[in-house]
């Protein structure tokens, strides 16, 4: 598969993740009487990954996340030379989705993008008021386990054809745990795609939602290689 098609698949997959996941948070989470709440947003994020992993995973590998791409490099599943291109495609896809979501959301009277716009945050910008340290630990640990699940589900020894289901459900669980803490990132592209439109504090705190997922992904990959990988390979 050509690099152009692979990058296009990553762009589309990340676009769908941000539009579906963040869109559910911005447009549907708090609708009176019909709002989907935290659980609905968590499921939406999981469904975006599950659906696009089946749709384009055979083209690009279905990363949709710079942290996942890095973790796969550390885990020996992805060539380092292709990492920059994947990250650029993912971030551009996320920003494009953020732009579409902004256009839709701003069509409602009273819309205020500075209220958060599904951005990730800590301290006073954490949904539950969790500290910077709590947010850092949460994002590192959950991203590490996300990579362990991804590497395990896509291992040659795992049942074939079920990886997108396991990965999508894992992302759902991650959101159920951490939406109150950070609004859940575990994905620097997802965080960037909405923060650039929210501006202000969302951009100022964006560093954590790059640093923590990247560290967590590397840790998860190392753990998988040391503890769970097939020693014969």
Which pLDDT score is estimated for 233? 56
Q: How many degrees, rounded to 5, is the angle at CA 95 between CA 67 and CA 92?
A: 65
Q: For residues 200 and 106, what is the distance between their CA atoms, to the nearest angstrom? A: 18
pLDDT, position 230: 80
User: pLDDT at position 14, please?
Assistant: 98
Residue 116 has a pLDDT of 85
Among residues 121, 118, 163, the alpha carbon closest in space to that of 138 is found at 121
**For the chain (length 233 residues), average pLDDT per consecutive 10?**
95 98 92 85 98 97 98 97 98 98 93 90 97 98 98 94 97 98 98 97 98 98 93 63
Can you tell me the distance from the alpha carbon of 152 to that of 210, in angstroms, rounded to the nearest whole number? 24
Cα–Cα distance, 79 to 161 (Å, whole number) = 23
State the Cα–Cα distance between residues 233 and 217, nearest whole angstrom: 21
pLDDT attached to residue 115 = 83
User: Kind and range of the H or E element at 181?
Assistant: helix 163-182
């Amino acid at each position: 598969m050509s690099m152009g098609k692979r990058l296009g698949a990553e762009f589309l997959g990340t676009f769908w993740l941000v539009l579906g996941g963040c869109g559910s948070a911005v447009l549907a989470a708090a609708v009176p009487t019909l709002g989907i709440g935290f659980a609905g947003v968590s499921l939406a994020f999981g469904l975006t990954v599950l659906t696009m992993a089946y749709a384009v995973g055979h083209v690009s590998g279905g990363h949709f996340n710079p942290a996942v791409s890095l973790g796969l490099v550390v885990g020996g599943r992805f060539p380092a030379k292709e990492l920059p291109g994947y990250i650029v495609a993912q971030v551009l896809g996320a920003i494009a989705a953020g732009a579409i979501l902004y256009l839709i959301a701003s069509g409602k009277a009273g819309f205020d993008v500075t209220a958060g716009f599904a951005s990730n945050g800590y301290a006073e910008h954490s949904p539950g008021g969790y500290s910077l340290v709590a947010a850092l630990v949460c994002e590192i640990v959950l991203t590490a386990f996300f990579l362990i699940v991804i590497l395990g589900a896509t291992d040659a020894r795992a049942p074939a054809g079920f990886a997108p289901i396991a990965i999508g459900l894992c992302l759902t669980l991650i959101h159920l745990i951490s939406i109150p803490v950070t609004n859940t990132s575990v994905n620097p592209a997802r965080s960037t795609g909405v923060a650039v439109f929210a501006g202000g504090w969302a951009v100022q705190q964006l560093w954590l939602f790059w640093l923590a997922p990247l560290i967590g992904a590397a840790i998860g990959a190392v753990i998988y290689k040391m503890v769970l990988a097939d020693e014969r390979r």
